[in-house]
Structure 1
C-alpha cells in the first residue's frame, strides 16, 4: 500500500542514507531529475543537485535531526534551472536517514498560465460567435441589395460601384469565416509529426525561395501521434509564417533562422483541453518548439496574441495564431509562447494518445 501511494504522488520524493546516497525515489522524482532509480541508486544526491546551500541543508538536517524547508529555490538539473520548494526531514528506517520532498513551482505557474489561456480562449469563442451573427446577417442583406441594384442600373460606370460593394462584402464574409475556424471535427489518424513538419518546411522554402534558414532538431524516438494531417499542417504553417514575419520586421530573410525542435515532455501536468472534463494530466506528451530570431513580441501584447484581430503588425489580420490555437485545441493540445527581443518560442504540446473528442470550434461554445 505504501509503495502504491508513493508511486502515485505528484511530489518528488527521494530517500537518502547517511552519506546522502540515493536509496529510492518515486516516479515523480525520476521525472523531475530526468533520471531513473537504476541509474542513480547508491549515488550521491549532490551529483544530481550540485547546489551548495542544498548540501548545507542536508548536513544541518542530519546533524541537528530537524526538518528544513526552503521556498522558491533554483535547482540546476541537467544544465537547466528549475524553481522548486523542498523539504528535508530526518527519518530512522534501516539505512534511510533523510527524506527529501521536492515540489517544482513551475508546474503551479504553468497551471495558472494555462487556466488563464483557456479562459481567454473561451471568451474569444463567445466574442467571435457573437460577432459572426452580428456581421454575417447584415452582410447577406447588403450583398443581395447590391445585386438587385446592379440589375436595375443601365450605366456601366454605376455597376462598377455595385461590383465593389459585392466584392468587399465577400471579403468581409471570408474574414469572418476564418475567425470562426474549422467547423468540422478533425479526421484523426496515426501520423508522424515529422512528416507534418517536413511538409511545412517544403511550403515555406517554396514561399521564400529557400532564402530563409530552417533548422531541424528532431527527436527520432517520438512515435506516431493521433492527428488530422492537413489541419496540423495549417496550424504549424501559421506559427512558422508568424515567425517569418517577425524576422522580416528587423532583418533580411537570409539573416533569419527558424528552428523546429521536437522532444518528449514527461509528467506534463496538466495538458489542457477545452472540454467538459477540463484539464488532464498526461505522463508523456509531444513537445514541438518553433524558435525564431525575429523582433520578439511586445510584453503588453504577448498575453493577448491568441485573441482574434490582435496583431503586432499594421498589415496583420490577427487570425493566424487564434486559428492555430483552435486547431491544436481540437487535438487536445495547447500552444504557449514566451518571447524576448531576438528570441521567440512557440511551444506546441500534443498528446501521444487520445481519448474520444467533443468536437468544437471557435464558433461554438461548451455549455
Structure 2
C-alpha cells in the first residue's frame, strides 16, 4: 500500500506531522497546484525551505513539468489509486532531479500528495557514464600529450650528452653536474611518459583469473613493504568463480589502490592500529556501463585512514592528481583504465576513518 493511500485513509491535517520523519520527499498540492506542505526531505531535495516553497506552483520549479502535471491530473481524476513513474525533472541553474515519483489524490482535503524518491540506480548510471566519458577524454589527452613530450625530451637528452662531451677537461667535474641534472630529469620525465602510455601499449593478455589469488599476491607485497603496524584482514566469499581476464593488470589495479591506502595509513601504522580489508562478494543484477549482468564480482578495498581530501575527492581518477606529497597521480588512473578494459568500474566512498574502493567486474 502506498504512502498516499495510507494518508488518504488516515485523513486530517494532523496526520501530516509525521511526514518529516520520512527519508523520501513528500509534497502536498492544493486544487490550483500550489504547494501547501513539503516535508524536510522534500526541502533538502528541492534545495529550498517550506517557507519559500509555500504557495508556489510546483510546475514553476521545473523547466519540464509536463509529465509531472499529466500524472497529477490523472490522479485528480481518480483513474488509479496512485501513479508511479520515473522522471527527470530539469531545473534552471541546478542539477536535474532523477526521481521515482508516486502521486495520489487525498479526497478529504482535495489535496494531491506527491512522493519523490531519488532514483539511485539512474544516478549511478549517470555517474558511471560521466566516468567513462572522462576516462576516454583522459586517454586521448594523455596519448597526445605523451607523444608531444617524448620528441623534445629525446632532443634535450641528446644535446646534454653532446654538451658534456665538449666540456673542457679542466672544468669537466664542475660543469658535468649541470649536464647530469638535465639528463636525469629527461630520464625521469621519459619514465613518467612511459607509465602514462603503458596501458595503451601493453597487450591485453586474457586467461583464467581467481580474484583471491590476486588479493593474496597483493597482500604479500604490501606486508613485505609494511611489516609492522598494519593488519590486512581478509573477508572472502569462496564461492566466487574464476573469470576471464588479465591477471597481471588486475594485480596492478589492486596493488595501486592498496598501496595508496597503506601510504595514507602512515600515522596509524606508527600507532600500530592501521587496517586494510580485502572483501569479496557476488553482486546480482548489476548494471555496468549500461549493460545488465546477472552476476558481478564486488571487491572492496577498505582502510581506516584519514580519508581522501575533499578538494580532490571528485578527481582522484584523473591523471596527475595526487593527495600525497611526491605522488605521481597515476596509480588510480591506471587502475581505472585496467578495470574499464575488463568492462568494469571502480567506485569510491571516503570519509575520515573509512575509505572504501569498490571494484565491480562482470562474472560469467
Does the pair score TM above 0.5?
yes
Aligned to 2:111: none
User: Would you say the 8 A contact 1:181–1:326 is kept in 2?
Assistant: no
Aligned to 1:96: none
Mapped pair 1:212 → 2:223:
no
User: Would you say the 8 A contact 2:348–2:358 is kept in 1?
Assistant: yes
Distance 1:84 1:290, change over 3 A: farther
Rounded to whole Å, the distance in 2 between the matches of 1:238 and 1:215 is 18
1:246 to 241, 244, 264: 264
Structure 2 unaligned residues grouped into runs of 5+: 11-77, 87-97, 105-116
Aligned to 1:159: 176
* TM-score normalized with structure 1 length: 0.67
Moved over 4 A (4+): 52-55, 57-60, 69-72, 86-89
Aligned to 1:304: 315
Pairwise CA distance, 1:134: 2.3
User: Would you say the 8 A contact 1:247–1:253 is kept in 2?
Assistant: no
2:185 to 168, 179, 190: 168
Mapped pair 1:318 → 2:335:
no
Rounded to whole Å, the distance in 2 between the matches of 1:253 and 1:150 is 49
User: Would you say the 8 A contact 1:331–1:350 is kept in 2?
Assistant: yes
Encode CA deviations 1:153-202: one digit per residue, 9 max, x unaligned. Answer: 23233223222221111011101111223212221111210000000001
Q: How many correspondences in the alignment?
A: 272
Distance 1:268 1:54, change over 3 A: farther
Mapped pair 1:198 → 2:216:
yes
Pairwise CA distance, 1:250: 6.1
Higher relative contact order (CA 8 A, sep 6+): 1
| Pairs within 5 Å for 1:242-321 | 242-248=260-266, 252=270, 254-269=272-287, 271-272=288-289, 279-321=290-332
User: Would you say the 8 A contact 1:69–1:85 is kept in 2?
Assistant: no
Rounded to whole Å, the distance in 1 between the matches of 2:271 and 2:342 is 32
Rounded to whole Å, the distance in 2 between the matches of 1:67 and 1:204 is 59
| Pairs within 5 Å for 1:222-233 | 222-233=240-251
User: Would you say the 8 A contact 2:230–2:269 is kept in 1?
Assistant: no
Rounded to whole Å, the distance in 2 between the matches of 1:57 and 1:221 is 46
Distance 1:246 1:227, change over 3 A: same
Aligned to 2:121: 107
Rounded to whole Å, the distance in 1 between the matches of 2:239 and 2:101 is 33
More helix by percentage = 2
| Pairs within 5 Å for 1:68-147 | 68-69=82-83, 85=100, 105-147=119-161
Distance 1:249 1:67, change over 3 A: farther
Aligned to 1:339: 350
User: Would you say the 8 A contact 1:309–1:318 is kept in 2?
Assistant: yes
Distance 1:188 1:58, change over 3 A: farther
Name the larger-Rg structure.
Answer: 2
Rounded to whole Å, the distance in 1 between the matches of 2:190 and 2:118 is 47
Deviates more, 1:147-156 or 1:282-291: 147-156
* TM-score normalized with structure 2 length: 0.68
User: Would you say the 8 A contact 1:212–1:257 is kept in 2?
Assistant: yes
Aligned to 1:327: 338
Rounded to whole Å, the distance in 1 between the matches of 2:223 and 2:331 is 19
Aligned to 1:15: none
Rounded to whole Å, the distance in 1 between the matches of 2:84 and 2:344 is 34
Pairwise CA distance, 1:67: 2.2
Rounded to whole Å, the distance in 2 between the matches of 1:152 and 1:161 is 13
User: Would you say the 8 A contact 2:256–2:332 is kept in 1?
Assistant: yes
Rounded to whole Å, the distance in 1 between the matches of 2:349 and 2:244 is 26
